[in-house]
């Protein structure tokens, strides 16, 4: 007898595969639609708050003290601007106070709520480079997570930001927080929250790649504090997305440690940078 398949058996398998593919496509489209609906609901139902953008005028720490020797510039998004908590309890003021333990500090906060890394590069960086800061704290990435910024663009933006800051002052200490764990935000429903968690890992991996290549300092707030945010709703502001004062406080030790590492490495800059800084003097 012949081993050839009976007539119609092959076509039946093809039809079964086509049906399976169609069901998979429908499931994928349904998931995409569900995620889009959840995202729209999350945006549309954000409660109002009394947020005000932080002042961009330089501020001395301690106030009224001697002339500052260290210039700190904060760049980034709502986390740099302190949205969700009183500004005095956010990471910008906390970083300035930590650095002020070494000596007088001038803080200039250029962070803007809603900014992506590309916005920092385009809108905030020109003012930062004019200041030629000693220390930069870049707190951004969450809006690149939610805005689905291409990972190649994330890397390119961080590279460009670091390059231009170092062109303005070659021994600048640069600290990046990357994105907090967006997947911990109670404002996001499931499965959107899980997808946001995966996306956070992807964006942060892109940032960390540049940190290693460019010898920057990372303050890994998502890695170190994400579990605490997932377990404690009080770490979020009433909007269920931005940190509360208690939430920001969980980041202080992580950021302080990164600032200390960045300043320690700044004491021994590359020879070319050291000679250039010596010739130009500290402006």
CATH of the domain at 245: 3.40.50.1110
Which range has the top average pLDDT, 46-50, 99-103, 137-141, 193-197?
Answer: 137-141
Is position 234 within any domain? yes
Domain that holds residue 198: 59-270
pLDDT of residue 248: 98
pLDDT of residue 65: 56
Residue 159 confidence (pLDDT) above 90: yes
pLDDT of residue 45: 42
3-state secondary structure (DSSP) of residue 241: coil
pLDDT of residue 185: 92
| pLDDT confidence band for 47 (50 / 70 / 90) | low
For residues 61 and 15, which has the higher predicted lDDT (pLDDT)?
Answer: 61
Is position 21 within any domain? no
pLDDT of residue 42: 42
Is position 48 within any domain? no
- Sign of the torsion angle spanned by Cα atoms 265, 266, 267, 272: positive
pLDDT of residue 50: 72
pLDDT of residue 131: 95
Residue 58 confidence (pLDDT) above 70: yes
**Mean pLDDT computed over 117-132:** 97
Is position 205 within any domain? yes
β-strand pairing of 135-139 with 59-61? unpaired
For residues 141 and 75, give the distance between their C-alpha atoms in angstroms, rounded to a whole number. 11
pLDDT of residue 93: 97
Total domains, the chain: 1
The Cα angle at residue 85 between residues 254 and 67, in degrees rounded to 5: 65
Q: Which residues contact 137 (CB under 8 A, 6 or more apart)?
A: 72, 73, 74, 75, 76, 80, 91, 92, 95, 175, 177, 255, 259
pLDDT of residue 110: 98
Residue 136 confidence (pLDDT) above 60: yes
In the sheet with 59-61, reading across from the earlier edge strand, the strands are 59-61, 105-109, 70-76, 135-139, 173-176, 217-218
Is position 203 within any domain? yes
Distances in Å between the Cα of 116 and the Cα atoms of 21, 119, 148, 194, 213 are 37, 5, 10, 21, 21
For residues 2 and 200, which has the higher predicted lDDT (pLDDT)?
Answer: 200
Residue 128 confidence (pLDDT) above 70: yes
Closest by Cα among 241, 83, 252, 266 to 177: 252
Is position 12 within any domain? no
| pLDDT confidence band for 75 (50 / 70 / 90) | very high
For residues 246 and 165, give the distance between their C-alpha atoms in angstroms, rounded to a whole number. 31
pLDDT of residue 44: 43
pLDDT of residue 216: 96
Is position 17 within any domain? no
Is position 6 within any domain? no
Q: What percent of the chain shows pLDDT beyond 90? A: 64
| pLDDT confidence band for 48 (50 / 70 / 90) | low
For residues 157 and 63, which has the higher predicted lDDT (pLDDT)?
Answer: 157
Total-model pTM = 0.81
Residue 70 confidence (pLDDT) above 70: yes
For residues 271 and 46, which has the higher predicted lDDT (pLDDT)?
Answer: 271
Closest by Cα among 258, 234, 228, 231 to 246: 234
| pLDDT confidence band for 130 (50 / 70 / 90) | very high
| pLDDT confidence band for 191 (50 / 70 / 90) | confident
Residue 41 confidence (pLDDT) above 90: no
Residue 18 confidence (pLDDT) above 50: yes
For residues 17 and 160, which has the higher predicted lDDT (pLDDT)?
Answer: 160
């Amino acid at each position: 007898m012949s081993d050839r398949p009976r007539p119609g058996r092959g076509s039946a398998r093809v039809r079964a595969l086509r049906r399976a593919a169609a069901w998979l496509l429908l499931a994928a489209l349904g998931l995409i639609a569900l995620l889009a609906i959840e995202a729209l609901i999350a945006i549309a139902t954000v409660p109002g708050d009394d947020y005000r953008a932080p002042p961009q005028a330089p501020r001395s720490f301690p106030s009224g003290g001697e002339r500052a020797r260290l210039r700190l510039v904060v760049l980034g998004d709502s986390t740099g601007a302190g949205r969700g908590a009183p500004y005095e309890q956010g990471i910008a003021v906390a970083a300035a106070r930590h650095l002020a333990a070494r000596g007088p500090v001038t803080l200039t906060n250029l962070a803007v709520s809603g900014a992506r890394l590309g916005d920092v590069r385009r809108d905030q960086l020109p003012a930062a480079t004019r200041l030629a800061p000693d220390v930069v704290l870049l707190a951004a990435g969450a809006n690149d997570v939610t805005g689905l910024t291409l990972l190649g663009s994330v890397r390119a933006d961080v590279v460009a930001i670091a390059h231009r800051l170092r062109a303005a002052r070659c021994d600048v200490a640069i600290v990046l927080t990357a994105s907090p764990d967006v997947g911990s935000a109670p404002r996001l429903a499931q499965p959107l929250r899980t997808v946001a968690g995966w996306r956070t890992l992807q964006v942060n991996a892109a940032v960390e790649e540049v940190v290693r290549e460019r010898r920057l300092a990372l303050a890994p707030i998502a890695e170190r504090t994400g579990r605490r945010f997932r377990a404690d709703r009080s770490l979020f502001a009433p909007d269920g997305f931005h940190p509360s004062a208690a939430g920001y406080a969980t980041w202080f030790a992580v950021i302080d440690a990164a600032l200390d590492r960045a300043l320690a490495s700044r004491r021994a800059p590359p020879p070319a940078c050291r000679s250039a800084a010596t010739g130009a003097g500290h402006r």
